[in-house]
Amino acid sequence: MWTLVIYGIASGLSGFSINYPMLIALRFCTGFGLGGELPAASTLISEFSPKKIRGRNVIILESFWAWGWILAALVAYLLIPVYGWRMAFWVGAIPALFAAYLRRAVPESPRYLEAAGKADEADHLIRIMEKEAGVEEYPRESHPDNHGKETKIRLSLGELWSGKYIRSTVVLWVVWFGINFGYYGFVLWTPSLLVAQGFDLVKSFEFTLIMCLAQLPGYFSAAYLVEKIGRKRVLTIYFAGTALAAWLFGHGDSTTQVLIYGCLLYFFSLGAWGCVYAYTPEVYPTVARGSGTGWAAAFGRVGAFIAPMIVPVIYNAYGDKTGYGYVFALLTAVFAIVAVVVALFGKETMGKSLEEISGE
């Protein structure tokens, strides 16, 4: 809830910026709030969802990122030309603050409450959920040793790299770094690169909207397949598909090809994003779930930070045509490496309870 408050307030204040440094400082605060919200939300949904639809629930949650993209594009197209750039920030603050208000009605995770030694609160919450779902109440086992006693509820960064968790941590950090590097490598620079190649369509609202719309079937198909063929296979297929689409996009030589390959790029990459958010909280036990997810997402942002700086260096070093091809060859390689890592070292978590996966 606090991350949403920080995000909403900082976004709204951005619209009152009197100079560029003030705007950058407020955007930093906005990113701080957003960065904390994303792993927290996916972890909470994962801990509340039954195993049969756990992955699907998280991916559907993440699919609203695409709806946000679409609405943001509409705001940019309809409001900024009339009311100026400040209006975009003010409008953006409203849903974040409203979501923070709604979050007050969302209960704490019962898994967290149990891990924190608050067994009575966890039991009370479970009884409410059973009643609302029309499920017969089941007798509870008492845990006198843990009753009212707060136990360890989070792990340090060093502990995430201990023998018990190192495999999961390595795989997740590679996945998060790779998807952030590849995604922000093409999202932030592709319009400029395509304009330099002579594709004027990318300047238009229609191009942005089409790319955004392609994200939705990517999310929804991943949400369906993740409970049919498993997380590991979906991640491998969608990362491999993103790699292929990036290669084709880098070799498109007409407006039609740019649109088709661009849609494929967004389709596979956003489907992979959704599955990454679903998969990450599942491989850790409750004591490490939030911190493990948060650290993986944080390391991924290093990739998001590095990629936009590397892309123009490669592009300028080799010239327009060759550099353009090399940029997308690099992105292709990154996505392909992630696909291989998941295929060889990832765990399959479909159809298993969180306790079965983590050994709690």
Dihedral angle of Cα 145, 148, 149, 153, to the nearest 10 degrees: 110
Judge whether 346 lies within some domain. yes
Band the pLDDT of 176: cuts 50, 70, 90. Answer: very high
Is 280 a residue whose pLDDT tops 90?
yes
Judge whether 233 lies within some domain. yes
Q: What is the pLDDT of residues 281-310, one digit of tens each?
A: 999 988 889 899 999 999 999 999 999 999
Judge whether 193 lies within some domain. yes
Listed residue (266, 293, 309, 273) closest to 354, CA to CA: 293
Is 185 a residue whose pLDDT tops 80?
yes
Which pLDDT score, from 0 to 100, does residue 325 have?
Answer: 86
Helices (H), the chain: 2-14, 20-48, 54-78, 80-83, 85-103, 110-115, 119-133, 157-160, 166-187, 190-196, 205-225, 231-250, 255-279, 286-318, 320-345, 354-358
For helices 205-225 and 255-279, the axis angle rounded to 10 degrees is 40
* Cβ burial, residue 163 (10 Å; 0-12/13-18/19+): exposed
Which pLDDT score, from 0 to 100, does residue 201 have?
Answer: 61
Which pLDDT score, from 0 to 100, does residue 153 have?
Answer: 66
Sign of the CA dihedral running 252, 254, 258, 264: negative
Structural domains of the chain, count: 1
**Which CATH number do you get for residue 247?**
1.20.1250.20
Band the pLDDT of 320: cuts 50, 70, 90. Answer: confident
Give the range among 55-64, 113-122, 165-174 with minimum mean pLDDT: 113-122
How much is the mean pLDDT over the chain?
Answer: 87
Which pLDDT score, from 0 to 100, does residue 189 have?
Answer: 81
Which pLDDT score, from 0 to 100, does residue 313 have?
Answer: 92
Judge whether 34 lies within some domain. yes
Instruction: Read off the pTM.
Output: 0.85
% of residues, the chain, pLDDT over 70: 92
Structural domain harbouring 343: 2-105+155-358
Judge whether 225 lies within some domain. yes
Band the pLDDT of 204: cuts 50, 70, 90. Answer: low
Judge whether 124 lies within some domain. no
Judge whether 132 lies within some domain. no
CB atoms within 10 A of CB 125: 17
Judge whether 123 lies within some domain. no
